[in-house]
Structure 1
Amino acid sequence: MTLVRPPNTWAQAATKVSDMIGWPTFAGIVRRGERAVQYWGQPNCKTVPTIEQALLLDAAYRAAGGSDAPFLDTFAALLDVQVKRDAACLSELANDSAAFVREAGDLGAALFLATRPGASPRDHNRALVEAQQVETALGAIMRRLPSFLQFGAGSLSGNIGGTQ
């Protein structure tokens, strides 16, 4: 059965290189067993070659007649996706921040009206509504900010951005 390998994935890059140089040569270059490197060509594989191994594999692919660099191309495509995702997250954080500042300004104005002599119950209710809107806007920021934090020293360390 032929496995579907989406473009710009490590599995597709591994398969493309192996089609050019063969799995035995591929395995020899990275000093791994043939079955281990064949697993890299499966879309559900959780491991990938190191950067140094990918460099060696792209060089071998080129030496065998390939005109591109499958691992480099995959890295570039995945980097582009990540950068766009991060930019989208930053944009959403900016939108959340603008909403918070706008609501905080409305609250400030409502509080001045509510504290003046002779303020009506309507003025106090307006201030309460504005305070609730500030709380909602602040909540959106507080939910988004953790996606920008760096946790631990693993593969996700330094990951910025998150879900939109």
Structure 2
Amino acid sequence: MTLHRAPGSIDAALARIAGQLEGGWAGVGRAVGKSESMARAWGHPGRREQIPMDDAIALDLAFQAAGGIGAPIFETYALQLDLACINRFADRAALGVHLASVIKESAEAESAMLSAILPDAGPAETRRALRELDEALVAMGTARALLNNMKSDATDSPQIPP
């Protein structure tokens, strides 16, 4: 029976190595001094066994020694790390992009409020100050929501109450 291994998984990387090494899964086991059944367990998506780091390095090297191009386990690990970083820090990046809007709207609100308190200010300056203040509050509300939803700190500290 053919196992379906997710692309970008360690299981798929191990299957790629098994396909390159002489003897397949038995060759994977021999390359690291383990049994074929242990090698198959590492490469089976439904099993709990995990390949130790030193064996992963040895298998990437064995893959290259057998004429393979690249380092399947390392490449998979690097891809998974990149995806995890993107996922973990996406909220921070979004907040960073939004920060320019917060700064702009806050500065415009401050400027309009200063104009509204000048001796010659009238109702138009007050309306402008209120409009700019509302825009700043909307920008800050969005920033607050982004901060509350930051995935990277979800386990580090409690959320800020609304």
Q: TM-score range by the shorter chain?
A: 0.5 to 0.7
Q: Which residue of 1 aligns with 2:41?
A: 38
Aligned match for 1:125, one of 127, 146, 155: 127
Q: Which residue of 2 aligns with 1:9?
A: 9
What amino acid is the match of 1:10?
Answer: I
Structure 2 regions of 5+ residues with no counterpart?
157-162
Structure 1 regions of 5+ residues with no counterpart?
153-164
CA pair 109-31 structure 1, distance change in 2 beyond 3 A: same
Moved more, 25-34 or 109-118: 25-34
Q: Which residue of 2 aligns with 1:68?
A: 70
Report the RMSD for the aligned CA atoms in angstroms: 3.7
**1: CA distance between counterparts of 2:155 and 2:34?**
32
Contact 2:17 2:59 in 1 (8 A): yes
Q: Which residue of 1 aligns with 2:160?
A: none
Q: Which residue of 2 aligns with 1:18?
A: 18
Moved more, 140-149 or 28-37: 28-37
Aligned match for 1:106, one of 105, 108, 118: 108
1:135 CA drift (Å):
2.2
**1: CA distance between counterparts of 2:35 and 2:136?**
57
Contact 2:105 2:132 in 1 (8 A): yes
**2: CA distance between counterparts of 1:84 and 1:100?**
23
Aligned residues: 151
Task: Report the structure number with the largest CA radius of gyration.
Answer: 2
What amino acid is the match of 1:34?
Answer: S
What amino acid is the match of 1:12?
Answer: A
CA pair 125-51 structure 1, distance change in 2 beyond 3 A: farther
**1: CA distance between counterparts of 2:116 and 2:78?**
56
